[in-house]
Structure 1
Amino acid sequence: MLIMGCFVLSYSVTCAQTSENIPLSQLYQEAAAYPGLQAEASSIKSADYDYRLAKQKILPDLNLQAQNTFGTFEGAAGAFIPLPGFFNVSGTGINGNTAVNSMASATIKWDFLRFGKYRDQVQLAQVNQQQARTSFDIEALKLKHEVTQVYLGWMYSNAMHGWANREAERNKNLLQLSSSLVRSGLASAADSLIASTSLQQARGQIKKWEAQTNRFKNQLFEYTGTELINENVPKPFFLITQAEVHNSIPLHPLLTEKEHQQERLEVREEIINHQVFPDISLLAGGLVRGVGFGDDSQAFQDSYQLPINNYLMGVGLTWDLSQWYSKGLKTQQVQEEQQRVAQEMEVVKRSLNEQQNSLQFHIQKSKEEIIEAEAAYQSAAESYRLFKVRYESGLIDLTTLLQIQQSLQFTEKSRIEAYYDYWQYWNNYAYTQADFSVLTTVFN
């Protein structure tokens, strides 16, 4: 008895766990691993690396070079071969054709004065970093909207599947009742045929909504990797939330994205202004070189037998004067893009404002529709019950009862659709507010 009691208790706990509704907030957390969202997260990391690299641009450039060549050593004083780095050949006319030449050099260049160019590059990388994060927020917001839409679609199709089952059960009872009345001679044989036809139609609706429910389950599994086990519609679907809608435009990620685009264009304008100034650099270098030749014309002697050491230090100025006459056109181009972004930002603001106003109206009217639909459904259900009793007594025919049943079928379907539309309006409103806290509270 103790073993059986423990088994029954564990089975009941397991069934209770599998029948629990998965909170919407949990679906959001599991959707965070969606590849499309992870791609945006990788863009953030890439922008972070670009920002760190831009900050390292202030460090000097250091180049090292070493080479060992075999070639002529005779030549006019100061002659050179323009290879990477530099390599001089000179001689005094000693008889000989070839020699071993070794060289090692190091150069350093530090652009220590760039008149704001370095700061502009760092600032541009920082704006790109912020814009990558905003793109991630936009993608995450869209994903929440999609997950919620699929979740609501699963609840709606599941509710419609229950509606089709109830309709089939009513038609099945009518078929049994009409068959009994036909056998007793209180109804014609046509009643059984009509009831059978209605039953077949209801069973077809069951297959349809089974397919729809399975489709939404597969879509939700695609986004979250979670398979819904519970086949019951969550109770909050048939409730009206007490949360109030408010007319305000928060700092939506779509607006933030436009602000970052404006900041980027402002930095580009600063870059154009600073490009007309020169770059002042500190230059330094060192060279160790040896030539392997001797008076006896032996070419393969120690290449550092006659070493030559050189060094160089100085300050250089690089000035691209062509930037002066192209600055005006580049500035005008950036200003035109700034006007375009400003107009696009205004379009986004108006669109969000219009959507919020429209959704507020729809949510309010949807509440009123639900109240009317609930009242109509209760009336239709009571009317069907009364007419069914009259049909059982032989006071009305089956055609009249089927008309009442169709009215019940229509009102029950309208009731489910009213709730579905109501939550879809809330989902769209949450997207315009960039806040899904109302939905996560209701479907917790």
Structure 2
Amino acid sequence: MRYRKFILSTAFLLLTKGLFAQVLTVKDALETALTNYNSIKAKAAYANASRASVNQARKEALPNFVLSAQQDYGTVNGQNGPAYGFGGYGVASSGLPLAEQNWNAAFGALYLANLNWDFYTFGKVRERIATAERIAERDASDRDQEQFQHQVRVVSAYLNLLAAQRLTRSQENNLARADTFRLVVATKARNGLIAGVDSSLANAEVSNARIALIRAKDVEQDRANQLSLLMGIPPQQQFTLDTLFITRIPGNVVSADSVSAQHPLLQFYTNRLRVSQEQEHYFRTLKYPNFTLFSVIQTRASGFSHLYATDQTAYNHKYWEGVKPSRSNYLFGVGVTWNLTGILRAGQQVTAQHQVSEGMRYEAELVNQQLQAQQDLAGVKMKNALAAYNEAPLQVRSSSDAFTQRSVLYRNGLNTIVDVTQALYTLNRAETDRDIAFANVWQALLLKAASTGNLSIFTNEF
């Protein structure tokens, strides 16, 4: 017997645990959305790319160190006169000018190491790195503000679905009341106690209640699909949501939080402005020259002998003789390059970028004004939502009492079915207003959290 009780108790606990595991809480919805939603993944990828670009900009400041080796076979037939390898198609053949063409050929080789370093650029490298860093900060803040706004959208969709489910339940209750009343009317009509038209009116009221329930279910499914989309999961027919909090008032409804300078949206617009300002600084450096340090070590090889000038047979076709290093040279120096017409172009770039910065500054100020207005609106909405929240239970209780009274009077033939129908409609409206009022309190709290940039104002209530 004890063993049987143990099995039953264990099964009950497992079943209860399974049922509770199916409840989707607000925090679970947020965690799932941040993990699955593709827009957030895209923003994260862009931020990672920008961080890689910072490393690339730092490495571009390193000197260019080039190793080169080539081994060739060809002629050295030459001719006095100028030549230019236009477009890179010239052949680097050289040798003494002869009276006529010959096709003497041998192997040759060139080995070199080249170092080229712009060691002083009047801040070009520094500003290029700083610009890349500002871009990385901008993209990181873009990811953060996308996450924040998406969290707000997910919570709003969660509350909308919860309200839709409560409205569906209210319509189900309304249908049950209408159907129960229809049975009473039908019984009285069959017994000849009331006119048959009352039965028709009761049937019409039941049909109206069914249509209202269908519409409520349609809205609920639409809200469920929206929540599924925002969570990045396949569409769900039914969500089991956390309903414990919806019938109470949040604890943080009267705090006077202001818009934070660390608001993710403000941070994003501020970082956009910083990128533009840093680009201004970089464009200013384009007016100045570059100082370059360079050096070359070169080794050559040739199958043509040093006697070839007087003896055109002094060459051989052996590969090793042609590619074996025989002469070396080195060179180092310092150079400066300054494109003077670049001064004019850079000036216009600075002017254009400054205007872009001004535009971004105005946009940042506009966003701040919008958030301040949203903060004020959140306070008003919270005040009105609390007033409706306190009034809604009184309306439901009074409407329920009125419906009960009208129903009793009708059963005793003391009023008409129109009075009962009106009371039924009033009770349904009161329950609907109550469900909306409860949800509006939490929506107002969410608006407050969204405007201040601190979602924990909302999530700390759970």
Q: Does the alignment reach a TM-score above 0.5?
A: yes
1:35 equivalent in alignment to 2:60:
no
**Alpha-carbon deviation of 1:337?**
2.0
- Work out the CA distance in 2 between the residues paired with 1:277 and 1:232: 64
Partner of 1:110: 117
- Counterpart among 325, 335, 348 of residue 329 in structure 1: 348
8 Å Cα contact 2:25-2:241 kept in structure 1 = no
Residue 314 of structure 1, aligned match among 324, 333, 349: 333
* 1:88 to partner: Cα distance: 5.5
- Structure 1 stretch 270-279 or stretch 287-296: which is displaced more? 287-296
Q: State the partner residue of 1:402.
A: 421
Offset at residue 92 of structure 1 (A):
6.7
Instruction: For residues 141-164 of structure 1, give each alpha carbon's deviation from its aligned partner in whole angstroms, at most 9, with x where no partner exists.
Output: 121111112101110110111011
* Corresponding position: 1:291 with 2:302: yes
In the TM superposition, residue 120 of structure 1 has moved relative to its aligned partner by 0.5
Shift of 1:306: 7.6
* Structure 1 residue ranges without an equivalent (≥5): none
Structure 1 residues 352-387: Cα deviation after superposition (integer angstroms, max 9, x where no partner) = 111111121111011112222221111111111122
Distance 1:418 1:108 in 2: 74
Aligned equivalent of 1:262: 273
Q: In structure 2, how many angstroms separate the alpha carbons of the residues matched to 1:179 and 1:14? A: 43
Determine if the alignment matches structure 1 residue 191 to structure 2 residue 198. yes
Aligned CA-pair RMSD: 2.6
Is the 8 Å Cα contact of residues 284 and 347 (structure 2) preserved in structure 1?
no
Q: In structure 2, do the counterparts of structure 1 residues 39 and 377 end up closer, same or farther at CA, with 3 Å as the change threshold?
A: same
Instruction: After superposition, give the CA deviation of every residue in 1:389-444 in whole Å (9 maximum; x if it has no partner).
Output: 112222222221111111111111122122233322222222111222233233x3
1:80–1:387 distance in 2 versus 1, CA, 3 Å: same
Question: Is the contact between residue 18 and residue 230 of structure 1 (CA under 8 Å) also seen in structure 2?
Answer: no
Q: Return the alpha-carbon distance in structure 2 between the equivalents of residues 304 and 202 of structure 1.
A: 98
2:256 counterpart of 1:246 = yes
Q: Which region of structure 1 is more displaced relative to structure 2, 138-147 or 422-431?
A: 422-431
5 Å-filtered alignment, 1:304-383, equals: 304=323, 307-383=326-402
User: 1:114 touches 1:278 (CA, 8 Å); kept in 2?
Assistant: yes
Q: Report whether the alignment pairs 1:91 with 2:96.
A: yes
Corresponding letter in the other structure for 1:371? N
Task: Name the counterpart of 2:245.
Answer: 236
1:298-331 Cα shifts (integer Å, max 9, x gaps) = 5513204682222211111111211323343333
Work out the CA distance in 1 between the residues paired with 2:137 and 2:317. 62
Give the length in aligned residue pairs: 443
1:152-171 pair list within 5 angstroms: 152-171=159-178
Any conservation in 1 of the 2:145–2:264 contact (CA below 8 Å)? yes
- The TM-score with structure 1 as length reference comes to 0.91
What's 2:290 paired with?
A: 279
TM-score (norm 2): 0.88
Secondary structure, in 3 states, of the residue corresponding to 1:74?
Answer: coil
User: How far apart in 1 are the matches of 2:51 and 2:80?
Assistant: 52
- Distance (whole Å) between structure 1 residues aligned to residue 270 and residue 75 of structure 2: 64
Aligned twin of 1:411: 430
Structure 1 position 212, deviation (Å): 2.5
Equivalent position of 2:308 in the other structure: none
Asked if 1:300 is matched to 2:300, the reply is no
Indicate conservation of the 8 Å contact 2:71/2:323, yes or no: no
Secondary structure of the 2:66 match is strand
Q: Given residue 303 of structure 2, which amino acid in structure 1 is its aligned partner?
A: G
Counterpart Cα distance in 2 of 1:236 and 1:354: 28
Determine what percentage of the aligned residue pairs are the same residue: 21
Distance (Å, rounded) in 1 between the aligned partners of 2:220 and 2:59: 55
Partner Cα distance (2:241, 2:443) in 1: 19
Q: Residue by residue, what CA displacement relative to the aligned partner does 1:261-288 show, whole Å, maximum 9, x if unpaired?
A: 2222222222222222211111111222
Question: Which consecutive unaligned segments of at least 5 residues does structure 2 have?
Answer: 306-310
Give the superposition deviation at 1:174: 0.5
Asked if the contact 1:71/1:98 (under 8 Å) is kept, the reply is yes
CA contact (8 A) 1:55 1:122 kept: yes
